[in-house]
């Protein structure tokens, strides 16, 4: 709540990528990722070229890789699956480092890992260089339905308020000897989630009334 | 559970994006009926709540954990149309601002986690509400059953998509068995938490639970005579 205005992944900067209009960045990311996804599995040269384009974009953004790399942990569960694929696939066997694995599985697993990694790094670059407010304006320019952009705007605005409220509830629970992860304490956890819902809902009502009293007529001023 | 970029091939991703766009378009019309002009602020706050609730993880076994999907929970609490909007917005924000789930897989994620869980969860809930006695105490168990059903069905739909556009030569029957076993376990956690949360809200503010409103309408205003002495 008391934090800065950016969201958690945003990296403050003034690079050309930071200044670029958000709608172009979203379209660029979408186009780039569609090309990556459509790249054939064994076109390793193309993967290298795509990775270089992405790293070039990261360099232009001047967001340090040491900032982006630790944040790629969201990929871990998926990377585990990609590593498993060569072992659970069928097809002719081949030997890698003394372990027998499926050959088409190895190719597929590698491609999954490469595509997934490029995707996560590209999305992180967008998130690191784009303020939420700019992103919303960009989505508006891309003709996203107005209602959807408004809902997203409220979510972005109140994200920290509601998650901080929940964090305070969990701290209160833990300090009273309750472990929110343990199924034994689910009834307590559920009651606090219920309270969180009621508080969020009532906050929504208050926000709506406050907006009405300031002349809200169903659409936000541009 | 978020599908990343490159997991399904481009045609499948585009097809599911079409399905998701159609679903969201229908939900945009329907949500105005559920929440009238309050839609934007209310759905925004409920989306934030769903996001916060998804941070709750529960152990499944073998050292791994799952987290609440919240589709059935949101459907019972605010109605199916608003729930679709809330979950789509949550997934969109996660893809664009948190790099969680690929941008080309956003359509797939909205279809699976937004549309399928809400439709199944709400469908089962409404069917049960029709059959069960009309008592508010039964709203929570019905919601729990809906939540339980929604998770394995979403997993099955995902396996279907994987069969059509999967990028790995994996034996399909093994995938089906593994996905179903895994997501039945997640479904149990989802059902327990959904049921308990709905029960706690029904106990305090039953008027806020969209799925309980038809049952509340039966209550009539009682005017009791005050004994004058």
How far does the CA of residue A190 sit from the closest CA of chain B (Å)? 5
- pLDDT tens track for B68-95: 888 899 999 888 998 999 999 999 988 8
According to DSSP, residue B101 is labeled: S
Per-residue pLDDT, averaged over B5-16, amounts to 85
Residue A189: is its pLDDT beyond 90? no
Task: Give the model's pLDDT for residue B180.
Answer: 86
Residue B45: is its pLDDT beyond 50? yes
At B200, the pLDDT band (50, 70, 90 cuts) reads very high
Is the Cβ of A74 closer than 8 Å to some Cβ of chain B?
A: yes
Burial of A103 (0-12, 13-18, 19+ CB in 10 A): middle
Q: Which chain B positions have a beta carbon within 8 Å of A186's beta carbon? A: 58, 192-193, 196
- pLDDT tens track for A116-152: 888 889 988 888 888 888 888 888 888 888 888 888 8
Is the Cβ of B104 closer than 8 Å to some Cβ of chain A?
A: yes
How far does the CA of residue B58 sit from the closest CA of chain A (Å)? 5
Q: Which chain B positions have a beta carbon within 8 Å of A136's beta carbon? A: none
In 3D space, the residue among B94, B4, B96, B110 whose CA is nearest the CA of residue A118 turns out to be B4
Percentage of chain B beyond pLDDT 70 is: 93
Q: Which of B97, B165, B173 to mutate to test the interface with A (most CBs of A within 10 A)?
A: B97
Q: At what angle do helices B10-35 and B139-165 cross, to 10 degrees?
A: 160
| Residue boundaries of the structural domains of chain A | 16-135, 145-212
Per-residue pLDDT, averaged over B173-184, amounts to 82
Q: Which chain B positions have a beta carbon within 8 Å of A22's beta carbon? A: none
Of B38, B97, B198, nearest to A7 by CB-CB distance is B97
Residue A204: is its pLDDT beyond 90? no
Query: Predicted ipTM?
Result: 0.86
CA-based nearest residue in chain B for residue A186: B193
Asked if B196's CB is within 8 angstroms of A186's CB, the reply is yes
At B229, the pLDDT band (50, 70, 90 cuts) reads low
At B150, the pLDDT band (50, 70, 90 cuts) reads very high
At A221, the pLDDT band (50, 70, 90 cuts) reads low
Per-residue pLDDT, averaged over A206-222, amounts to 80
- pLDDT tens track for A145-155: 888 888 888 88
Lowest mean per-residue pLDDT among A41-45, A116-120, B190-194, B196-200: A41-45
Task: Give the model's pLDDT for residue A4.
Answer: 44
Mean pLDDT rounded to a whole number for chain A: 83
Of A155, A162, A183, nearest to B93 by CB-CB distance is A155
**What total number of domains does chain B contain?**
1
Is the Cβ of B88 closer than 8 Å to some Cβ of chain A?
A: yes
Q: How far apart are CA A129 and CA B114, in angstroms?
A: 28
Residue A22: is its pLDDT beyond 50? yes
In 3D space, the residue among B219, B202, B59 whose CA is nearest the CA of residue B143 turns out to be B202
Name, in order, each residue with C-beta under 8 angstroms of A98's C-beta and a sequence gap of 6 or more. none
Maximum average pLDDT range among A38-42, A203-207, B2-6, B31-35: A203-207
Tell which B residues from 105 to 164 touch A, by Cβ distance under 8 Å.
none
- pLDDT tens track for A80-92: 777 777 777 776 7
Domain of residue B196: give its range. 10-214
According to DSSP, residue B4 is labeled: -
Task: Give the model's pLDDT for residue A205.
Answer: 87
At B219, the pLDDT band (50, 70, 90 cuts) reads low
**What's the CATH number where B69 sits?**
1.10.1760.20
At B104, the pLDDT band (50, 70, 90 cuts) reads confident
Does residue B145 lie in a domain region? yes
Residue A5: is its pLDDT beyond 60? no
Asked if B103's CB is within 8 angstroms of A37's CB, the reply is no
How far does the CA of residue A79 sit from the closest CA of chain B (Å)? 10
At A3, the pLDDT band (50, 70, 90 cuts) reads very low
In 3D space, the residue among B68, B205, B95, B79 whose CA is nearest the CA of residue B150 turns out to be B68
Name, in order, each residue with C-beta under 8 angstroms of B21's C-beta and a sequence gap of 6 or more. B107
Tell which A residues from 10 to 29 touch B, by Cβ distance under 8 Å.
26, 29
Q: How far apart are CA A149 and CA B70, in angstroms?
A: 21
Mean pLDDT rounded to a whole number for chain B: 85
Number of Cβ pairs closer than 8 Å across A and B? 249
At A2, the pLDDT band (50, 70, 90 cuts) reads very low
Per-residue pLDDT, averaged over B43-70, amounts to 79
């Amino acid at each position: 709540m008391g934090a800065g205005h950016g969201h958690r992944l945003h990296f403050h900067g003034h690079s050309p990528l930071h200044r670029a209009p958000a709608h172009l960045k979203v379209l660029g990311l979408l186009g780039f990722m569609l090309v990556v996804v459509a790249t054939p599995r064994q076109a390793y040269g193309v993967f290298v070229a795509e990775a270089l384009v992405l790293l070039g974009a990261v360099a232009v953004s001047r967001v340090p890789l040491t900032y982006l790399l630790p944040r790629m942990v969201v990929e871990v569960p998926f990377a585990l699956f990609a590593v498993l694929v060569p072992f659970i696939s069928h097809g002719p066997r081949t030997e890698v480092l003394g372990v027998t694995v499926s050959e088409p599985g190895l190719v597929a697993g590698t491609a999954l890992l490469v595509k997934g990694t490029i995707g996560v790094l590209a999305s992180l670059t967008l998130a690191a260089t784009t303020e939420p407010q700019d992103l919303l304006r960009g989505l508006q320019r891309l003709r996203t339905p107005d209602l959807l952009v408004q809902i997203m705007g409220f979510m972005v605005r109140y994200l920290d308020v509601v998650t901080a409220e929940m964090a305070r509830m969990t701290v209160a629970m833990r300090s009273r000897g309750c472990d929110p992860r343990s199924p034994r304490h689910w009834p307590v956890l559920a009651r606090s989630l219920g309270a969180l819902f009621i508080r969020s809902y009532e906050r929504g009502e208050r926000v709506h009334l406050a907006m009405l009293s300031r002349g809200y007529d169903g659409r936000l001023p541009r | 559970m978020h599908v990343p970029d490159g997991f399904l091939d481009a045609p499948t991703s585009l097809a599911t994006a079409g399905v998701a766009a159609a679903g969201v378009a229908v939900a945009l019309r329907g949500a105005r009926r559920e929440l009238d002009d309050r839609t934007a602020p209310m759905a925004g706050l409920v989306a934030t709540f769903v996001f916060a609730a998804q941070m709750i993880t529960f152990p499944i076994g073998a050292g791994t954990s799952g987290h609440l999907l919240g589709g059935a929970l949101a459907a019972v609490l605010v109605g199916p149309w608003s729930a679709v909007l809330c979950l789509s917005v949550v997934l969109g924000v996660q893809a664009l601002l948190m790099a969680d789930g690929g941008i080309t897989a956003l359509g797939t994620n909205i279809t699976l986690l937004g549309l399928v869980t809400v439709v199944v969860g709400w469908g089962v809930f409404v069917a049960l509400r029709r059959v069960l006695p009309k008592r508010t105490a039964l709203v929570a168990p019905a919601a729990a059953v809906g939540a339980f059903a929604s998770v394995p069905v979403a997993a099955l739909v995902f396996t279907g998509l994987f069969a059509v556009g999967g990028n790995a030569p994996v034996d399909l029957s093994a995938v089906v068995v593994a996905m179903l076993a895994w997501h039945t376990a997640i479904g149990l956690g989802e059902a327990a938490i959904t049921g308990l949360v709905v029960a706690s809200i029904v106990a305090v503010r039953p008027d806020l639970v969209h799925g309980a409103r038809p049952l509340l309408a039966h209550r009539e205003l009682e005017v009791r005579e005050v004994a004058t002495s």
